[in-house]
Amino acid sequence: MPEIWAGVDIGKTHHHAVVIDAEGKRLLSRRVQNDETELLALIGDVLEISRDALWAVDLNHGGAALLIGLLVSHGQPVAYLTGLAIHRASATYRGEGKTDAKDAFVIADQARVRHDLGLLRPGDEIAVDLRTLTTRRLDLIFDRTRQINRLRAQLLEIFPALERSLELTNHGPVMLLTGFQTPAAIRRAGASRIETWLRNRKVRGAATLAKSAVEAARAQHTVLPGEELAAAMVVRLAKGVMALDEEIAELDTLIEAKFREHPHAEVIRSLPGMGTKLAAEFIAATGGDMDAFGSSDRLAGFAGLAPRPRDSGRVSGNMRRPRRYHRGLLRTMYLSAMVSLRCCPASKAYYDRKRSEGKGHKRALLALARRRLNVLWAMIRDGECFHSSPPVTGAA
């Protein structure tokens, strides 16, 4: 058991640290800048009080990254309590005031009285890199969706027939809009010229796309107010979508190269429905170290796939999804379960069985995701790739 507990209320530019002993007495209270020199001085002062210390923080990323990195490099154990847990716990302490010093004290005191806190573990270099790459890729995907929605809205104001006929999530229609945006321009060019223009830019299905554009142009002969400026905005938005596509493709290449360096890459990738991108997101979410969870049940709880009881009085057997779980990991397992229905007979059979039991599509898919997570856990634990049926062993 530690001799002292150091709670740190994390901020963007400054942190506040409070150190207490086994009786809850404050031994140190200090506001420090989020700077390596001051943080090293804080660590040194705390270790002068006692070498047997447990640190606790209310944030495990962002502004806390430098402090956690320094503590890990000094071999100091670091516990993590969520901000919501600290907020609720602070209501049980005397006084209604809220200060950084009080929050830091609550963090330290909660670390002192609670014995169920997990310690933060430093992620390996590959897992950290994959977390950075997959997070950036997801941001770009969201930006691309927003850009396409803006493009649709702008095109709808001047050329609703073309907006209706184009699938703007594909590369070809977006490329078309960089050269032709108005009905008059498309009619002047004609299907043959547009097809040649698209073929020169290596667009698939150029003939069909050109024909659809000309048919839409023939259905509208009215020139709407502001058409010229709106067409220029359509070009700008379409080029923005294409720029995002290029950056996403570059990130996909980096993710695949980095993922193949991970020791569990081949094992994770062998699970049907778990492609390179989803497998990289799995490593980014879990750190690739299953020892940190201890069991497949704890991993399922972390992913939000293990229901929690919410019983009270005469109400029993009331199972609900936990409120605290890793949304990214749940998304990864859910999407991989969806893909596996098309390529894995075992997954399809399990899904059909759950549907026959009366479960809806979503609940059956979540049950399948939980089953696949158990399988993936065992695969990583044993270092074995996926087998559609158990391997047959020879007689002794």
Taking the alpha carbons of 151, 152, 153, 157 in that order, is the dihedral positive or negative? positive
Mean pLDDT of 106-111: 95
Q: Same fold for the domain at 4-113 and the one at 127-257?
A: no
pLDDT bracket for residue 340 (50, 70, 90): very high
Contacts of 188 (CB under 8 A, 6+ apart): none
H, E, C per residue of 317-346? CCEECCCCCCHHHHHHHHHHHHHHHHHCHH
Phi, psi for 55 (deg, rounded to 5): -95, 150
Q: How far apart are CA 107 and CA 342, in angstroms?
A: 48
Q: Which 8-state DSSP code applies to residue 46? A: H
- CA distances for 247 relative to 1, 212, 224, 250, 253, angstroms: 50, 29, 35, 5, 10
Task: Decide if pLDDT at 395 tops 90.
Answer: no
With 0-12 CB in 10 A as exposed, 13-18 as middle and 19+ as buried, what is 156?
middle
DSSP 3-state of 32: strand
79 membership: H or E segment, kind and range: strand 78-80
The predicted structure's pLDDT at residue 284: 92
Phi, psi for 306 (deg, rounded to 5): -110, 110
Q: How far apart are CA 49 and CA 29, in angstroms?
A: 13
The predicted structure's pLDDT at residue 389: 65
Percent residues over pLDDT 90 in the chain: 76
DSSP 3-state of 164: helix
- CA distances for 287 relative to 130, 220, 386, angstroms: 9, 55, 21
Q: What is the CATH number of domain 127-257?
A: 1.10.287.4070
Task: Decide if pLDDT at 49 tops 50.
Answer: yes
pLDDT bracket for residue 309 (50, 70, 90): confident
- CA distances for 106 relative to 22, 60, 63, 333, angstroms: 14, 17, 19, 36
Task: Decide if pLDDT at 180 tops 50.
Answer: yes
pLDDT bracket for residue 396 (50, 70, 90): very low
DSSP 3-state of 112: helix
pLDDT in tens, 16-29: 999 999 999 999 99
Other beta carbons less than 10 A from residue 24's beta carbon: 12
The predicted structure's pLDDT at residue 319: 72
Tokens of 216: 């839409």
The pTM is what?
A: 0.81
Q: What is the CATH number of domain 4-113?
A: 3.30.420.10
pLDDT in tens, 54-83: 999 999 888 999 999 999 999 999 999 988
Task: Decide if pLDDT at 123 tops 80.
Answer: no
User: Domain residues of the chain, as ranges?
Assistant: 4-113, 127-257, 265-382
Q: How far apart are CA 340 and CA 239, in angstroms?
A: 35
* Structural Rg of the chain based on CA atoms: 28
Contacts of 221 (CB under 8 A, 6+ apart): 183
Task: Decide if pLDDT at 287 tops 90.
Answer: no
- CA distances for 272 relative to 122, 136, 157, 373, angstroms: 30, 25, 44, 12
Task: Decide if pLDDT at 198 tops 60.
Answer: yes
pLDDT in tens, 363-380: 999 999 999 999 999 999
- CA distances for 236 relative to 147, 233, 239, 394, angstroms: 10, 5, 5, 66
